[in-house]
Amino acid sequence: MYTSTSGTTKIILADHSEVTLLQGAQLTVEKTFPADTRDVFLKGDALFKVSKSKEHPFIVHGDGYETKVLGTVFKVSQSEKTFRVDLFEGKVLVYKTGQSESPVPLAARQSFTNYGISKASAVSATKDTEAVPSKTRSASLTFSECPINDAVLVIEKTYGIRLQYGEELRNTKITITVPNATADEFIQTLAVQLNLNTKKNNDSSFQLEK
């Protein structure tokens, strides 16, 4: 067990993978590491530079989510219910614990986050997302029986927009997956599913209406 009590702590694992624990993070590694799968268990935030191995996947077990890689550079951030992976090189698969059959793939310079909502996930560009205008920002969003208020929160944070909806949707739950869509495209698809129309006030303000 490795713990970073102050500052950052750099660890070299037996397979030569490098892990940088950020302040307050804790990493648990079995004595049998590396085995057929290279499993580590993370509390808090850490940066990983994983040695490549096609035969031995590297799996970071986080708080309710797992990140599976063969060799790459990525960062895992965890805060209360929020889980985030920023991928800098290579490819990874992110999935909920126990649901490895339904992974979310990430390519280099992409980020995965649930914004603290377990029934939602968003994948968008890692670099300079705040500087990208909302009208050109694209992302892949997935919701599974997600309450409308939680879904709207994720949509607004992902695209940097404001989305209004009527009181009649208050008890609505959303199940939808839309890959690589702008805010315009996603909201249009969502409106069709809900049998509603969309009103665009400007590039950063939308409304769902009958």
Give the CATH number for residue 11: 2.60.120.1440
CA distance from start to end of the chain? 56
Q: Which of 51, 82, 107 is the last residue of a domain?
A: 107
Do both 97 and 80 map to the same domain?
yes
Model confidence band, residue 70 (pLDDT cutoffs 50, 70, 90)? confident
Alpha-carbon span 21 to 43, nearest angstrom: 10
Q: Which of 87, 107, 127 is the last residue of a domain?
A: 107
Do both 81 and 130 map to the same domain?
no
SS3 of residue 208 by DSSP: strand
Do 39 and 59 meet the contact criterion of CB atoms below 8 Å apart?
yes
Joined tokens for residue 188: 């249009």
- Decide: residue 130, CB within 10 A, 0-12 exposed, 13-18 middle, 19+ buried: exposed
pLDDT of residue 127: 67
> Which residue do the tokens 């799996």 mark?
59
- At residue 127's C-alpha, the angle toward residues 181 and 80, to 5°, is 85
pLDDT beyond 80 at 129: no
Do 27 and 19 meet the contact criterion of CB atoms below 8 Å apart?
yes
Q: Which of 107, 132, 157 is the last residue of a domain?
A: 107
Q: What is the mean pLDDT of the chain?
A: 91
Do both 50 and 122 map to the same domain?
no
| Residues 80-103: tens digit of each pLDDT | 899 999 999 999 999 999 999 989
Do both 87 and 174 map to the same domain?
no
pLDDT of residue 210: 85
For 2, 49, 129, 165, 188, the CA distances from 12, given in Å and listed in that order, are 11, 10, 31, 50, 48
Average pLDDT over residues 44-59: 93
Do both 155 and 194 map to the same domain?
yes
pLDDT beyond 80 at 135: no
Number of domains in the chain: 2
pLDDT beyond 60 at 159: yes
DSSP-derived secondary structure letter, 52:
P
pLDDT beyond 60 at 130: no
Model confidence band, residue 201 (pLDDT cutoffs 50, 70, 90)? confident
| Residues 13-23: tens digit of each pLDDT | 999 999 999 99
pLDDT of residue 6: 83
Nearest to 51 by CA among 38, 60, 42: 38
Joined tokens for residue 112: 């995965």
24 — alpha (psi -120 to 50), left (phi > 0) or beta? left
Q: Which residue has the higher pLDDT, 60 or 135?
A: 60
Do both 90 and 26 map to the same domain?
yes
Domain of 138: which CATH number?
A: 3.55.50.30
Q: Which residue has the higher pLDDT, 181 or 133?
A: 181
Do both 5 and 54 map to the same domain?
yes
Joined tokens for residue 197: 């129309």
* Cβ neighbours, 10 Å, residue 76: 25
Do both 92 and 124 map to the same domain?
no
Do both 21 and 96 map to the same domain?
yes
Do both 132 and 89 map to the same domain?
no
Displacement of CA 83 from its chain's centroid (Å): 6
What is the share, in percent, of the chain residues with pLDDT greater than 70?
96
pLDDT beyond 60 at 193: yes
SS3 of residue 35 by DSSP: coil
Instruction: Give the range of the structural domain holding residue 146, as residue numbers without chain letter.
Output: 114-210
